[in-house]
Structure formats: C-alpha cells, structure tokens
Amino acid sequence: MNEYEIETFLTLAEELHFRRTAERLGLSQGRTSQIIRKLERRIGTPLFERTSRRVSLTPIGRQLRDGIEPAHRQIQREIAKAAAAGRGIRGALRLGFFGPATAHELSLIIDEFHDRHPDCEAQLTLETQIDDHLAPLRDESVDLLATLFPVDEPDLTVGPVLLRETWVLAVPSRHPFAGRTSVLLDDLAEDTVPTVDGAPAYWLDQHIPPRASSGRPIRRGPSVTTFQAALALVAAGKAILPLTCQATRYYARPDLAYVPVEDASEAHYGLVWKTTRENARIRAFAELARRPR
C-alpha cells in the first residue's frame, strides 16, 4: 500500500462517508472511490460494504484498519517530530474555543501536538462568546480559534472542520414544542428568537433564518451577548433558540427542553486564524487537526 492508499483507507474507515473523506483529503469523490476500488482489487476482497444509505467496514476491512492504523500514526508522529525539529516549532500557541464540545476536540489534538512538538506549548486560554465570537483573533488574545462556521472574513483564514453536529431547538420546558419529537425550521416563526448583537449578519442568518420557507418573518426579539444570557431568556419564556446538539450534553436544565430540528443542515465547527499572523505553529496544529483521530 502506498501513502495515498493508506491515508484514503484510514480516513474512510473513520468517516464511513465518501464525500466527507474526499473533502478531508482534498480529492474528488470519484478519485476517492477509485483508490478504494483499486486497493480492494489488489487485496482480493471488499474492505467496505456500500449501500445507498451507509458505508461500513467488512470484517477484513476492520482487521486491516486495526493492523495498520497504530503503525501509520507512529510513522506520522516521527515524521512530524523530525520536521518540527527542522523548522524549530517552539514557543506558545493560544487556543480559543466556542462551546464545550469544541474545547474537548481541541484537547485531544493538543495531547498529540505536544507529543510531536514538545518545545511548543499549546493551551486553551478562553471561551469566546456569541456576540462577536471572532474578536479574540482580531485583538490577538488567541492565535487559533475553534468556532462555529461559516466564517467569511477577508482578514481571516478558515482551516479544517473539527466537529459536526445536528441542531436542536431550546424551548421553555412548558412550551408547546417541548412535547414534540421534532420541529422544523419553519416552526421558528411561531415564536421569537433572540437578537445577537455584534455577530456577523451572514453568520446569524445562516443559523437563524430571517424568514420561514413560507415567507413568514421570524421575529427577533431581545438582544443577548452571551450563551448563558440566551439560555436564561429562553427559560424565562421570552424566546426560543436553535442550538447545536452539544447543548443537550453540557447544558441540561429542568426549565429547558431541547427538541431536534428535523430539516436543519449539519453544523460545522472548525479552526480559524488571522491571516497576517500565520506561522509554523499554527500550520502544524491545523495540519494535525486534519488527520484522523
């Protein structure tokens, strides 16, 4: 197996999705499928079971993954250590994050980053708020920020996706929606959503559309600047709020209910940094974030 085949096989074994695998590797979906088919022909047996709904590893595929993944990771670590020594990656790397699940993803990368670059200290330094979540990059409080996409700013570079989540709707526990098994985005027009001062308009509109598909306006009410203030507003019965599903794990409260949003697009969290401050430390961390974990 050559490097392309190993990398493609291990990435698909993690993602179990050809499109996401292709995006991570910077390949076309057709090229990704071609590499896997060629590998399967060489081995003489399918490594993945494919249906119109899902991709899964065959028993031999699992055996191959379990056999080569540890060795591949060790090779990558040693190559990275040698490269870091040659580039002189040392000093400090300050990381900001948006949401606790994103902090958890960063902590996993930090552990491996320190193994590869022992002379560079990466630290979680602050949690950004919902009003101007990009401000810590611009005032240079952090070097890298893991935040909720989209980010479309001329002075910022967008890096790899770290986390994908579904959406839920936060409502008061006595709200009529609280007893439902799911809601639709159009249901936002039945109530009021908060206004977030300072957030980019395109970012806010992406996650809280100004109108339902029927054309009905979605009312934006009281203004908030922090996540906890937004939850308090919802608990008080003053608004409802779309959130990613990490809220159900980290912010369970008796006065709130979280209802899955059936037709919302998948939420992506990823790395962003100030373009003019890009350096070897940032590039090394972003490259590591692109690899399977």
Q: Is the pTM of this model over 0.75?
A: no
Do 107 and 174 belong to one domain? no
The mean pLDDT of 236-265, rounded to a whole number, is 96
Do 7 and 42 belong to one domain? yes
Do 147 and 28 belong to one domain? no
CATH number for position 17: 1.10.10.10
Do 20 and 66 belong to one domain? yes
Do 72 and 95 belong to one domain? no
Phi, psi (rounded to 5 degrees) for 168: -130, 160
Residue of 28 and 52 predicted with greater confidence: 28
Question: pLDDT for 50-77, tens place per residue?
Answer: 998 899 999 999 999 999 999 988 888 7
Do 177 and 220 belong to one domain? yes
Q: Is the per-residue pLDDT at 80 higher than 80?
A: no
Looking at every residue in the chain, the average pLDDT score rounds to 92
Q: Which of 79, 112, 127 is the last residue of a domain?
A: 79
Q: Of 121, 131, 115, nearest to 95 (Cα)? A: 121
Do 46 and 107 belong to one domain? no
Q: Which of 46, 79, 112 is the last residue of a domain?
A: 79
| Ordered DSSP codes for 154-197 | TTEEEEEEEEEE-EEEEEETTSGGGG-S-B-GGGGGGSEEEEET
Whether the link from the prior residue into 260 is cis, omega within 30° of 0, is no
H helix or E strand, kind and range, residue 95 = strand 91-97
Do 146 and 189 belong to one domain? no
Q: Is the per-residue pLDDT at 85 higher than 90?
A: no
What is the extent of the structural domain holding 131?
A: 88-164+268-289
Q: Alpha-carbon torsion 169, 173, 175, 179, what sign?
A: positive
Question: pLDDT for 115-155, tens place per residue?
Answer: 888 889 999 999 998 888 999 999 999 999 999 999 999 99
Question: pLDDT for 147-182, tens place per residue?
Answer: 999 999 999 999 999 999 999 999 999 999 999 999
pLDDT at 86: 56
Do 230 and 282 belong to one domain? no
pLDDT at 193: 95
The total of structural domains in the chain comes to: 3
CA dist., res. 43 & res. 41, Å (int)? 6
CATH number for position 202: 3.40.190.10
